[in-house]
Homo-oligomer: A and B are copies of this chain.
């Protein structure tokens, strides 16, 4: 661990707490390159678990991985008018290569629609080639100076899926299928409840027809956009001439979707579950689900305890549990507890000489409560049940917190009060006018996070815009956001 100083509490300064927790758990570090961070092994291990599961989920939908160039000719971005307008301010530009000035500058991909659809134009001939379903795991760069570890960095890692379909209905269905996949991942793997819904035009992806998102509420009651799925319509198909012969012999433009989640999810995980002692990692995404700490004084005890600990380790691993034995000499058990707690390991097993004699281990849960003695017999099975239960409890706790920090049926007055207190998700009617949306943002810094899907809408449909009082066209969810 980086140091032993007490962490700032969440209540005292959430932002300081967040940085300290990450630094102490050695998830990431600042780099000498402005705007960029280093993902350290403890943080990367969480990302690897996320990647593994998401990759399986995408492949179950028939999506295949591929890899497209990092560098994109500047002219490509300009082919889709909204797209270039949205991304131009954030571009990193390569002007020299191999010691010479380039004829045309290349930009480092901020996202890969343009380069990918230029290839799709070559690969897609007929409706038989559709749908084309690809994903890439890659780094992207969006120039950004106000760095926040994992949440906002000039370079970040992500996956970006890109698909092509025969018609709008199929593209829309795929966009929503991915949105639900993201939701399932967030809830079942990250134990992070999310709202699903549609973005307003002002928050729509540059070049998309419609953008859908999953939105989570962090412990400081700020919203975090955790994933987006876009129906791109035929915008890029027209810009890059991605056409196909339909089954009647005519020529059509394809319908595209794109969708992504990033290493930002690691930050979301920390801000959803962490407590004043550090990170809490849901069991399904933990690098180590269980850490075993041996306790001994004499050499004889050491030999005996380590033998028992090693046996337990092997049994847990054989039972499919990601277990680690912290056998370091010269580090006291208490220091080990503190370190693994800070890193967020869900379960700790302590084994001392008396436990060995009794065929027991002491189980401590990262989420608190008393330590309890457990039989070593059948321990892997017991732990699997404990893990499932912690996974559910974390999700439920986060959902309860979110609901306690949500308000429905807002008026301008109650909305301003809500923001002046703790804030959170505020549901209310909206007139659908972008000017009204902009004014709210200007005056309160709160934005429309999404127009929520039916499941999340209020039982009573709002009739008027909570801000301007005109008739409401839809319900919206406002919050201050990362």
List the interface of chain A (C-beta within 8 A of B).
29, 31-33, 36-41, 44-45, 47-48, 64-73, 76, 88-99, 105-106, 108, 115, 118-119, 122-123, 128, 134, 138-139, 141, 143-145, 154-155, 157, 330
Contact = CB atoms under 8 A, between A and B. Distances in A.
Given A45-B64, A66-B39, A98 B91 contact: yes
Given A31-B119, A115-B32, A38 B65 contact: no
A377 to B, nearest CB: 30
Given A106-B33, A119-B29, A141-B71, A92 B97 contact: yes
List the 3 shortest-distance A-B pairs measured between CB atoms, nearest first.
A98-B143, A41-B64, A36-B69
A73 B32 contact: yes
Q: How many chain copies?
A: 2
A65 B93 contact: no
Contact of A38 (B32, B108, B119, B155): B119
Contacts of A70: 36, 108, 139, 141, 155
Which residue, of A38, A65, A73, A76, has the highest number of chain B Cβ atoms within 10 A? A38
Contacts of A138: 139
Contacts of A157: 67
B38 A66 contact: yes
B94 A67 contact: no
Which residue, of A40, A71, A88, A128, has the highest number of chain B Cβ atoms within 10 A? A71
A33 B65 contact: no
A97 B93 contact: yes
Contacts of A31: 68-69, 115, 119
A369 B402 CA distance: 65
B92 A94 contact: yes
A119 B40 CA distance: 10
Contact of A93 (B36, B68, B95): B95
